A and B are shown apart, each in its own frame.
Chain A
Amino acid sequence: DADVTQTPRNRITKTGKRIMLECSQTKGHDRMYWYRQDPGLGLRLIYYSFDVKDINKGEISDGYSVSRQAQAKFSLSLESAIPNQTALYFCATSAIISETQYFGPGTRLLVL
């Protein structure tokens, strides 16, 4: 079984809709991250969490919110989706003592 899972894998939604992307991990890591990938821009950090009570904004947090429901679960919400949020979204995890991040398979989101 995969260590980092993301649901859904693909999603099409309409402008103005609220959508939630979910991430679960079985690696026992405390740190979790949400990135978006756009062609030519690499991966950009949206939010990150160092434990259940610690949530931090990344470089592109506007229009997004997150929830760390448990050590193993970290959800990303788009409160009111807009077309320029069409992207590939990745969840990642890392242990406290290491900066090596382990990535989920990604969620491809299309906002019409």
Chain B
Amino acid sequence: AQSVTQPDIHITVSEGASLELRCNYSYGATPYLFWYVQSPGQGLQLLLKYFSGDTLVQGIKGFEAEFKRSQSSFNLRKPSVHWSDAAEYFCAVGAGSSNTGKLIFGQGTTLQVKP
């Protein structure tokens, strides 16, 4: 069965510092992978996605993520965090080419940004 683990429930970084949010998945074939962000009181916004091809994907707001098949990981990174990045971040996995249309979400990581 598919599953997604975000090991860090809460992360605090200083503004301007680099950021890495971890995501590990369990799936037998090549999955579709997503990162969503949820700002306070808002819905989920897609940051980036990986379907195939280049394992380093660029997203909106300066975020990027790298798919590492050997580690079953899809970590989200940003070189310099801004105060407006404070939000909850969700990693999700889809069933890849079988296209069931269903996503499995991780538990979420809450990012706090210190001035």
Contact = CB atoms under 8 A, between A and B. Distances in A.
Contacts of A42: 4, 90, 105-108
Interface of A: 4, 31, 35, 40-45, 48, 50, 58, 90, 92, 94, 96-97, 99-106
Contacts of A58: 102
B101 A48 contact: yes
B95 interface: yes
Interface residues of B, number: 22
Contacts, number: 50
Contacts of A100: 34, 46, 49
Contacts of B32: 99
Interface in B13-61: 32, 34, 36, 42-46, 49
Main secondary structure of the interface of A (DSSP, over half): strand
Interface of B: 4, 9, 32, 34, 36, 42-46, 49, 90, 94-95, 99, 101-103, 105-108
Contact of B43 (A41, A44, A103): A103
A58 B101 CA distance: 12
